[in-house]
């Protein structure tokens, strides 16, 4: 039983890490595009604001992923014990 829970926990963590890595790649790509546009933009403050919001969203996504993992692990541990 314990091995099953550990296996599910490892798979959950691996899937979450893969999802985060994929999303981080997308975020970094978009940030790079915005930074390249900064020189051509009439008001670079807009780009800075967008980057600030992307950073905040990035933090929220990480927190949400951590919350989801915690909830799954709690559900598994309460279901088997």
In a structure prediction context, what are the per-residue pLDDT tens digits for the chain, which is 81 residues long?
678 777 877 887 888 788 888 888 888 898 888 888 887 888 878 888 888 998 898 889 889 888 988 887 788 777 655
DSSP state of 40: G
Q: Domain tally for the chain?
A: 1
| Per-residue confidence (pLDDT) for residue 56, from 0 to 100 | 92
Which tokens belong to 23?
């999303």
* Domain range for 68: 8-80
Residue 2 lies in a domain: no
| Per-residue confidence (pLDDT) for residue 1, from 0 to 100 | 64
Residue 21 lies in a domain: yes
Residue 1 lies in a domain: no
- C-alpha pair distances (Å), 78 with each of 1, 7, 74, 75: 13, 16, 6, 5
Residue 3 lies in a domain: no
Which tokens belong to 49?
């604001």
Report yes or no: 10 and 73 within 8 Å, Cβ to Cβ. no
| Per-residue confidence (pLDDT) for residue 20, from 0 to 100 | 81
């Amino acid at each position: 039983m314990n091995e099953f829970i550990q296996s599910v926990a490892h798979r959950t963590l691996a899937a979450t890490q893969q999802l985060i890595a994929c999303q981080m790649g997308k975020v970094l790509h978009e940030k790079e595009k915005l930074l390249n546009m900064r020189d051509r933009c009439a008001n670079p403050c807009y780009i800075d604001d967008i980057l600030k919001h992307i950073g905040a969203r990035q933090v929220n996504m990480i927190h949400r992923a951590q919350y989801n993992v915690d909830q799954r692990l709690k559900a598994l541990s309460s279901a088997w014990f």
